[in-house]
Amino acid sequence: MVTALLVFPLAAVEPDAPARRIGVIFEGSFEKAEVTTPIEGARRTQLVAYYEWDFGVRPFTEGNWQTRALDWEKLLPAARSVADRIVAGIKPEFVRDPRGVILYVVLADEDPFLSSVLLSPKLLESFRETLGERLHIVLVDRHRLYLFPATGGRLSDYGPALVEEFRRTKLPVSLEVFLLDKNGYRVIGELERSPSGEAGPLPPP
């Protein structure tokens, strides 16, 4: 009887729990989602509409998407605002070589909307002086992103390690490589492990 009393209130409030933040999460295409929008160049990554409630985040269904009279023109500005705030508050980890040259940057955070930082113009602004005008980004996990300089960067050197991390992580996204520049973000290739164990080369942007 005690168990029933604990379970029923949660089930009762679940359908009507009000949304707090609404935004987007980058997910692997293997995830099943009802409300998505295409990503330029992507085959294995999708952009999924999510809302926040008392117990975390949930993907929108076609039903509650229509009930709330939402569309992507309304959602994306809200998602960018969420992304802007995440970029403003996150503490990046800079990984350097023995000479002090920055090799890449790790963005790690438990915020469920972390991957949406690709929508924020502030992301490129934040790393323009350290990584350059163009970034290669790999969304290995929903809570962990890798940023490399697109010009003179060494992303391919780290391909095998990123593939292994992707295989071990609990919330994998994809091994597709995003290019972020002044024109926005798009997928330009994918990290793959060849029979020799080396990372496959990135196609030219």
pLDDT, tens digit (0-9, with 9 covering 90-100), for 140-177: 999 999 999 999 888 989 999 999 999 999 999 999 99
Query: Quick one: pLDDT band at residue 13, thresholds 50, 70, 90?
Result: very low
Closest CA to 116 of 93, 70, 75, 82: 82
Residue in the structure block whose two tokens are 């790393």:
127
For residue 101, the model assigns a pLDDT of 93
pTM of the model: 0.84
CB-based contacts of 29, cutoff 8 Å, min separation 6 = 42, 43, 44, 45, 46, 174
Kindly provide the residue ranges of all beta strands, DSSP E only, lying in 39-115, ordered along the sequence.
45-53, 56-59, 93-96, 102-108
Which tokens sit at 101? 């040259």
Q: Are 59 and 68 in contact (CB under 8 A)?
A: no
Closest CA to 23 of 86, 92, 110: 86
